[in-house]
Structure 1
Amino acid sequence: MSTPILICDDSGFARRQMARSLPDSWDVDISFAENGEQALTLIREGKGDVVFLDLNMPVMDGYQTMEEIRKHDLPCLVIVVSGDVQAQAREKMLALGALDFIRKPIDNDKLSHILSSYGIYSGETHSSGAKLQKVEEASQTKATASQRVTSTEEKLDACREMVNIAMGRAGESLAELLGEFIDLPIPNVNLIESNELSMAVAEINRNESVSAVSKGFISEGVSGEALVIFNDTNSQNIVELLKYPPSASSDKLALEALMDVSNILIGACLNGLSEQLKVAFSHTHPVLLGQHQGLSALLSDNVQRWGKLMAIEIGYAIKARDISFDLLLLFPGDAMSQVYSRLLDDSYDTDDKEGL
């Protein structure tokens, strides 16, 4: 008898990755949900004896979903699969009743071991990609792999999931440094013209005065620029959180905090990207674009040389300290196409073989 499996993730790309990671010999009936609200409906319909649950989703996130499962004692076993790997995120979900917590991207052998250790699956411990003829996503039933590769929306979804994993790594590093839980958003990914960037980014922070640090990165075929943008009203809170000795001026401490947080965020995020893209990035030295300036002034000279680009915005926050800052990843021209091809070529090899 097939085991009803529910994969809940707002990314179609991530849902397919999760389905491929299930052991080949496991007899399963797979259903999909794009958010927690859909997941709860399917669980109540008996379609989720085992649930693989993402954390950062619209409508209802993983935390809210787990709280509802516990509150109503719904009959399912939950394994969290997330790019947010902060210790506090893991502890909270386990306390709510999740069986285990798996880091994205998924290690197939580790997944098989977890399933076996809880008695969910007792077959071979090696997993090379689930047979997906039972997978039923209406929008994908008749689509071929080549059609998916040419879809702009699916390319953006793939890039969003890539950044979701990378930002989780950065959040984990920052949480360890600051000793605080970092609230992570759903990354905002858009294709825009360079002359539209100032207007688009202005929506990030409506305050008149901000500070920013820029760092370029390059590898064979993939290059771009990362910017960390701080609201100046946050600077003193960040200094206090970092516990710098009060031996320097407030402006000097604010600058030191700005550079330290920027280096951690950008470095950890780029490491997460390089692992997924299988490239090694060379980094430029961080550059202070400006302090206490309007946002448009920080960006105007920096991006006008680019044409069409992919702009990725991640809004980090430490709500307990009233701190927020934004990480922007900008990929110009050919780099954008290289990102797509590296992600999609690797991810759809098994789809081609399995007829999706």
Structure 2
Amino acid sequence: MPTPVIICDDSSFARKQVMRALPSGWNVDITYCENGQEAVEAIEAGKGDILLLDLTMPVMDGFGVLEHIRKKDLPTLPIVISGDIQPDSYKRVMSLGAVAFIKKPVDPVELTKILDDFGLLGILTKQVTVDNSQISFNEWCQEITNVAMGRAADLLVRVINEKVELSIPHVSLMEQGELEMTLNAATQGDSFSCITQGFIGGGIAGENLLMFHDTEIKHVAKLLNFDHDQLEESTEIELYMDIANVLVGAFLKGFAEQLDVSFSQGHPRISIHTQDSHEILKRNSAHEKNLTIEINYVIGDNQISCNQLVLITPESISSMKMRSGEEIF
């Protein structure tokens, strides 16, 4: 009799990755869920003796699913597979009853070992329900972004020793006018500081923009153990650059590794105390349209909001599709 397994992730690309990582010959009946609410309903319907669960999802996230499982004492064995690899996230999911935590992209050897350790494999007789949903380029790009930003947040947490909240990244092809509106929405018309840095490699080129609200500079100083009562402009630049070096460096490394490329990075530049989003984009985006990745980090107990825009040239898209190893549209 096949083992009922739920694979829960809002990304069809990630669901396919997990499905492919299952042990060859494992007799399973797979239910695919796109959010936590669907997973809970599937568990309650008896479709998930084993739950392979993402954390960052719409409707109900993975933490909410684990809390619901514990509260209702639902019969399932949850294994978390997530790009959010911060120590606090690991501690939280394990305290909520997860039996294991695997970082994205999922390692088939690691997953097989965990399943075997719990005696879940039984006799292997190949029978897998395949997820035949098509993968869009934007969805694939969103998933590799999810992994890269998780690594960036994890590194920053280890530096500042405070939690970083992550949200679902947004991927779209934007014209200059749309980019300017997006930047204005991120900064809310307030004075902001922006660190920009170009990158190129493997036929892929782009620009990274990292933005901070200037009203939060004292919180940033406190986070990095600076005297926030006496801040000169040179100190503010140093503080912003310290966070940018960690976040941007780790993000681009994680992004590049999944594309099997190595990025050369330009020298970072900073625009301090500005409200001119048009000028920022004029200097850093020479294309009418860009593949745009929007990311938001909320840093520390003081909820410092940090917005990241990754602008990738339209000429890079074909190289990215070629390196995806997937049939994407």
Matching residue's letter, 1:222: I
Matching residue's letter, 1:12: S
What is aligned with 2:75?
A: 75
Q: Where do 1:323-334 residues align within 5 Å? A: 323-334=304-315
Q: Distance in 1 between matches of 2:32 and 2:128?
A: 14
Aligned 8 A contact 2:26 2:127 in 1? no
What is aligned with 2:215?
A: 233
What is aligned with 1:127?
A: none
Aligned 8 A contact 2:9 2:35 in 1? yes
Q: Distance in 1 between matches of 2:141 and 2:90?
A: 25
Shift of the 131–268 alpha-carbon distance from structure 1 to 2, 3 Å rule, reads farther
Aligned 8 A contact 1:6 1:39 in 2? yes
Q: Where do 1:224-303 residues align within 5 Å? A: 224-244=206-226, 249-288=231-270, 290-303=271-284
The 3-state SS of whatever aligns with 1:20 is helix
Matching residue's letter, 1:104: K
What is aligned with 2:112?
A: 112
The 3-state SS of whatever aligns with 2:165 is coil
| TM superposition score normalised by structure 2 | 0.94
Q: Distance in 2 between matches of 1:131 and 1:332?
A: 43
Shift of the 239–180 alpha-carbon distance from structure 1 to 2, 3 Å rule, reads same
| TM superposition score normalised by structure 1 | 0.87
Q: Deviations over 1:252-309 (max 9, x none)?
A: 2221110010111110001101110000100111111x11111514523224521221
Is residue 2:161 matched to residue 1:161?
A: no
Q: Distance in 2 between matches of 1:195 and 1:321?
A: 32
Question: Unaligned 5+ residue runs, structure 2?
Answer: none
Return the offset for 1:39.
0.5
What is aligned with 2:316?
A: 335
What is aligned with 2:84?
A: 84
Shift of the 88–2 alpha-carbon distance from structure 1 to 2, 3 Å rule, reads same
Return the offset for 1:101.
0.4
Q: Distance in 2 between matches of 1:131 and 1:260?
A: 51
What is aligned with 1:144?
A: none
Fraction of identical pairs, as percent: 39
Between Structure 1 and Structure 2, which shows a larger proportion of helix residues?
1
The 3-state SS of whatever aligns with 1:317 is strand
RMSD over equivalenced CA pairs, Å: 2.1
What is aligned with 1:194?
A: 176
Q: Where do 1:46-195 residues align within 5 Å? A: 46-122=46-122, 134-135=129-130, 140=133, 148=134, 154-195=136-177
Aligned 8 A contact 2:26 2:128 in 1? no
What is aligned with 2:44?
A: 44
What is aligned with 2:188?
A: 206
Aligned 8 A contact 1:35 1:57 in 2? yes
The 3-state SS of whatever aligns with 1:263 is helix
Across the two proteins, how many residue pairs are aligned to each other? 328
Matching residue's letter, 1:65: V
Return the offset for 1:192.
1.2
> 267-276 or 249-258, which moves further after superposition?
249-258
> 243-252 or 112-121, which moves further after superposition?
243-252
